[in-house]
């Protein structure tokens, strides 16, 4: 697993996925290592997702979620939100937009729970900054899922939520990366409006 993590950091996603699969195979050969299965499944799923092996990532996340649900405590709830967000990305990559939206509904419920949000910690980031980041990721995935389903109205709502999250981050820390993020979302909103032949709205978003 450490090898897989290192390979991910240097951009060798396929090799990382292969290394993580070797870790999973070790568990099958050594029952005393069974307590590491949730960790191994999570790392292997992440590596498969990074390597664009979406069906495999989806299967691994499917195996991980019941183990998380069976684990007591707040950590399991926090992990479930993170895993469902990643599983939504895997489902989208595999062309399964509706299951992705189901996962994102669960993510949204978790992000409305203050106790779960309090457990979503990142180094050198405020709780609000972490929350905004998760909201932005989730709304971006929701926009992509609804676009795949041909629902431009839902795409617009998701993109506007993503824009709001980035604007809040921009107000908190005033970084160029957030300016770029807002700009890209507004460009997507313009594209979505133009696709509905609402050229006035498209022009307004481009103007912003």
For residue 88, pLDDT over 80 is answered with yes
For residue 64, pLDDT over 70 is answered with yes
Whether the model clears a pTM of 0.85, i.e. scores above it, the answer is: yes
Q: 165-202 pLDDT, tens per residue?
A: 999 888 888 889 989 999 999 999 999 999 999 999 99
Mean pLDDT of the chain: 92
For residue 74, pLDDT over 60 is answered with no
DSSP 22-56: HHHHHHHH-GGGGGGHHHHHHHHHHHHHHTT-HHH
Answer with the residue of higher pLDDT: 73 or 80.
Answer: 80
Residue 72: band (very low, low, confident or very high) from pLDDT cuts 50, 70, 90: low
pLDDT at 78: 80
How far is residue 188's CA from residue 196's CA, in Å, rounded to a whole number? 13
CB contact at 8 A, 107 and 85: yes
How far is residue 190's CA from residue 188's CA, in Å, rounded to a whole number? 5
How far is residue 146's CA from residue 155's CA, in Å, rounded to a whole number? 6
Joined together, the tokens standing for residue 109 give: 């419920």
């Amino acid at each position: 697993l450490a090898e897989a993590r290192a390979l991910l950091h240097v951009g060798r996603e396929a090799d990382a996925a292969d290394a993580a699969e070797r870790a999973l195979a070790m568990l099958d050969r050594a029952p005393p290592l069974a307590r590491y299965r949730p960790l191994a499944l999570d790392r292997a799923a992440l590596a498969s997702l990074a390597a664009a092996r979406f069906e495999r990532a989806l299967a691994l996340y499917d195996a991980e979620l019941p183990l998380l649900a069976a684990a007591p405590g707040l950590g399991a709830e926090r992990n479930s939100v993170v895993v469902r967000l990643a599983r939504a990305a895997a489902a989208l990559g595999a062309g399964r937009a509706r299951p992705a939206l189901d996962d994102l509904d669960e993510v949204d419920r978790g992000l409305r729970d203050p106790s779960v949000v309090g457990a979503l910690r990142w180094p050198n980031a405020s709780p609000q900054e972490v929350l905004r980041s998760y909201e932005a990721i989730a709304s971006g995935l929701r926009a992509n899922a609804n676009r795949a389903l041909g629902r431009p109205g839902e795409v617009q709502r998701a993109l506007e939520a993503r824009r709001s999250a980035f604007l809040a981050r921009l107000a908190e820390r005033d970084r160029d990366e957030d300016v770029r993020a807002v700009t890209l979302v507004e460009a997507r909103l313009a594209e979505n409006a133009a696709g509905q032949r609402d050229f006035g709205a498209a022009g307004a978003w481009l103007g912003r």
